[in-house]
Homo-oligomer: A and B are copies of this chain.
Amino acid sequence: MALPNETQRGTSQSLKALLGLRDLVYSGEVAPGERLTEISVSERLGLSRTPVRAALARLGREGILEAIPSGGYAVRTFTAADVHDAIELRGVLEGTAARLAAERGVSCSDIDAFKAIVRRLDTIVGTTPAELDFSAYVSANAQFHDMLAVLSGSKVLQREIEHVLHLPFAGPSAFLNAQTDMPEFRTSLISGQAQHRAIAHAIEMREGARAEAVAREHARLARLNLDVVIRDSALAERVPGLRLVSG
């Protein structure tokens, strides 16, 4: 089984172990702080120890699991402060990506593609709340953030941003699905879109400081959303892994 890239590598069992274990954690099937041994996980997932071992090590380095001194791993619990910090960190890194893109300049075709994503977001956000295509927004939003990392022109930075996005709740759309029916949601959508436009404009105008500042502030929206969600335990249920938070 010589399989191509890292995502495909381990078509069957390894991938099953990784996704299965991640799901076990995020779904709350294993309690935060609960101990996970290679054997118990392999029995739960119906796999042998080898792929499970790899998955445990990987999630351990991703930060979702924590190595226990006496052996095995524990589901890590996060405090609200940890989530705040993760979001702040994303803001800093995306701000750097925006600044580098502005400073170093991007090609016409790249900036055009970027602006096309912004326009698509414009039309999605421009509809009435009732007919908002939510999944289209999440998808286009993810594209915007992906492309921002690419525009930085730095593979190193791109890789690091991807790494931070693996941290729980740091993603740009992490808390959105809990809030589709809240009034705050609509306003945060609108101001977020204004920031998207400002970032694209600043990059095009090669205004590095502005691009960085706006991108940083943009991440703060997620912090606001987090605070809203945390205050309302009914909403918290709808965010996949919020069970891991608070400890």
Task: Tell me the A16-73 residues at the B interface (CB within 8 Å).
Answer: 54, 57-58, 60-61, 63, 67, 69-72
Indicate with 1 or 0, residue by residue over A146-179, a CB within 8 angstroms of chain B CB atoms.
0000000011110110011001000000000000
Judging by beta carbons under 8 Å apart, are A86 and B54 in contact? no
Q: A85-B156, A155-B82, A157-B89 are in contact. Are A5 and B67 (CB under 8 A)?
A: yes
**A2 beta carbon closer than 8 Å to chain B:** yes
Query: A163's contact among B5, B57, B82, B163, by CB below 8 Å, is which?
Result: B163
Judging by beta carbons under 8 Å apart, are A82 and B156 in contact? yes
**A247 beta carbon closer than 8 Å to chain B:** no
Question: What residues of chain B lie closer than 8 Å to A156, measured between beta carbons?
Answer: 82, 85-86, 89, 167
Q: A93-B92, A160-B164 are in contact. Are A67 and B155 (CB under 8 A)?
A: no
Question: What residues of chain B lie closer than 8 Å to A85, measured between beta carbons?
Answer: 154-157
Interface size range of chain A in the complex: 35 or more
Question: What residues of chain B lie closer than 8 Å to A9, measured between beta carbons?
Answer: 67
Q: How far is the CA of A167 from the CA of B154 in the complex (A)?
A: 14
Question: What residues of chain B lie closer than 8 Å to A82, measured between beta carbons?
Answer: 155-156
Judging by beta carbons under 8 Å apart, are B71 and A2 in contact? yes
CB distance from A62 to the nearest CB of B (A): 9
Q: What are 11 A-B contacts defined by CB distance under 8 Å?
A: A2-B70, A57-B57, A57-B58, A58-B61, A85-B157, A86-B156, A88-B157, A89-B157, A89-B160, A156-B167, A160-B160
Question: What residues of chain B lie closer than 8 Å to A163, measured between beta carbons?
Answer: 160, 163
Which residue of B is nearest A7, CB measured?
Answer: B67
Question: What residues of chain B lie closer than 8 Å to A60, measured between beta carbons?
Answer: 6
